[in-house]
Structure 1
């Protein structure tokens, strides 16, 4: 049996880790003998992890929808067609084709043009803007794929039939709270630094804070947005005396940061298709402060395992932070226990792997 999996990045951010977990599930549950080919755009940390999982890694550098490439439409179209031809060759003999994210345009075109009677699955992990939505709907219909969504919010945004499979993450063996709360409340924001994830929005909300707060911002920006990092450092220097902010670059293992914090903040100014950072926080028993839109509303239960605030409102976020239960107080610890319980029952990597393998091999005979 041959399974071909296509992804648009070789890094280890949220969608990359979710793709890795899906590939691991496919390798582990595939009927034997099985060949799992994984196509990535370039070498990177994800490639090594895929190889460790048992997949064979191949590279296709063209055919991904990226704004920087769309500024040169003729060059992009040429690369898209060339990549589609190469993927058609890769798809020969495939029994299952698994495409991860809408960005993989050449893979979807190859699915549309392929005469092979393979199962074609698209895992949608993004909510496109209104202008792009009509294009993606046409592309999905042409490709003949079965659609899997990472949240109800993503499914409703796309507006086409499909199955919702919530992401899962591996977590520590138990709910963990680092001792010590005498230095104030510790907030963690982790993920790619960009305009809509909300790093700037969070810092601006803290400019008038009356609490003692230690904030860590963990992540890096792509080359085209390095100026955002400089802007964040500039705002951080204007924070009140009781508020401090430390910056850390991307790290493959963020467990140190999750254990350090008291609360995880996900203040995205545009709707998150899912919100992987929120369930990672839950896995460490950390309550989550999240913007009340997109997939985050399917993860965080307000007042039970975290707090939801009005999206894009600095006032609402500031008020939420000012009203947080004190670190390691009974209220804070109860939130953390419920957060870990939510992770264990709904968002474990084991349940994710089971659902992915059941979908991928639904018509492929018994699995291992």
Structure 2
């Protein structure tokens, strides 16, 4: 089976990292077409996955775009659609991995007469998308032969927005557990390099954005002992520099300068997670899946997650992690303090998390599920 994968991003986010794992088994019979150049292209090449940048023109449509803005982007899309149609004729199916890729892929699928698969990595809700963008996404996705949702929460939101239940299947993201087995010597070196020795380290791994809730973790930190230190791994992506400035101001106002470290974008995520005592997920809106949650579990670290969206499908409170009400720093602080003072119970929960995550999200099993769905097409 020859597959043309489409993705709008030049930067590797959660959907893009998932695409690498899905494309690997087809690396001799696939092409990943990108709508932007960047580090994601290099990452694909490093994994020996054929890749081509199909356009260098920025598509001026965002999740909150209006109808006028959407129509204004059509002129940009025409040359790209033509290129995708021409390319698709050499492949058996089109696999759209993001929403802009879906729109282009749906039109190209019709013109090239190739079946379309859409991998849904989003919750199509008003909190995340404008009304017109939800309508466009659902209309385009309903033309697909298959919609793969990355969680039950994503599938439910898709159907509630008008999506077809008969073409929708849930397949969670896959991971290679071996990538998260970090030597204790490396862990100690990482803590030493970051000046975290003797600290109880709470890690937050996400781009810096208001809905990701880093400000909630900082507010919770006020209610914790001074030995608790937070590391924020990630940076602003989509014009959210003002939020980053607000975070720094919040830290200064609360007198937490010595307890919060900004590490920016990093590629050594498993090593950094392994150097933490607890991983916090603090999204204020429902998360479609929660890749960071599973990665932390695979590192054998306890996770406290916001109780909404896909996170509820990953975490059983008190069994393999902790769940707190989104936007409630006092609840988050309570979990942090409990983990600090009850290390034995915390270690038991973390160990159970590693075992269950290794079984549920092994990339080999996930790829088999996807291959079976694609074969049916």
TM-score normalized by the length of structure 2: 0.85
* Per-residue deviation, 1:340: 0.5
Deviates more, 1:282-291 or 1:44-53: 44-53
Aligned-pair CA distance for 1:204: 2.0
Q: Give secondary structure in 2 for the equivalent of 1:290.
A: strand
Equivalence for 2:327: 312
1:154 and 1:361 map into 2 onto residues whose CA distance is 23
Give the match for residue 119 of structure 1.
115
Matched, 1:135 2:136: yes
Aligned to 1:366: none
- In the TM superposition, 1:227-242 aligns within 5 A as 227-239=242-254
1:360 counterpart residue number: 374
Worse-superposed segment, 71-80 or 43-52: 71-80
**How far apart, in 1, do the equivalents of 2:76 and 2:348 lie?**
53
CA RMSD of aligned residues (A): 2.6
Distance change in 2, residues 1:256/1:174 (3 Å): closer
* 1:343 Cα deviation after fit: 1.4
**Alignment partners' CA distance in 2, 1:247 and 1:135:** 37
Q: Which residue number corresponds to residue 31 of structure 1?
A: none
* C-alpha distance after superposition, 1:287-324 (max 9, x if no partner): 11000000000111100111000122223222332332
Query: Which shifted more, 275-284 or 226-235?
Result: 226-235
Q: Is the 8 A contact 1:213 1:243 kept in 2?
A: no
Instruction: After superposing the two structures, state which structure 1 stretch, 247-256 or 57-66, moved more.
Output: 57-66
Aligned pairs, number:
354
SS in structure 2 of the partner of residue 147 of structure 1 = strand
- Which residue of structure 2 lines up, in the alignment, with residue 168 of structure 1? 174
Q: 1:261 Cα shift?
A: 0.2
Gaps of 5+ in 2: none
Q: Say whether 1:291 aligns with 2:297.
A: no
How far apart are residue 262 of structure 1 and its match?
Answer: 0.8
Q: CA deviation at 1:351?
A: 2.1
1:319-366 per-position Cα deviation (integer Å, ceiling 9, x unaligned): 332332537x21121111101001111012222222223323345xxx
Q: Secondary structure at the match of 1:238?
A: helix
Deviations 1:68-89 (A, max 9, x none): 8767445412112332222212
- Give 5+ residue unaligned stretches, structure 1: 28-33, 364-368
**What TM-score, normalized to structure 1?**
0.87
Shift in Å, 1:135: 3.0
Partner of 1:30: none
Task: For residue 224 of structure 1, give the secondary structure of its aligned residue in structure 2.
Answer: coil
Larger helix share, 1 or 2: 2
| Distance in 1 between residues matched to 2:60 and 2:241, nearest whole Å | 22
- What does 1:31-110 align with in structure 2 at a 5 Å threshold? 35-61=29-55, 65-67=61-63, 72-110=69-107
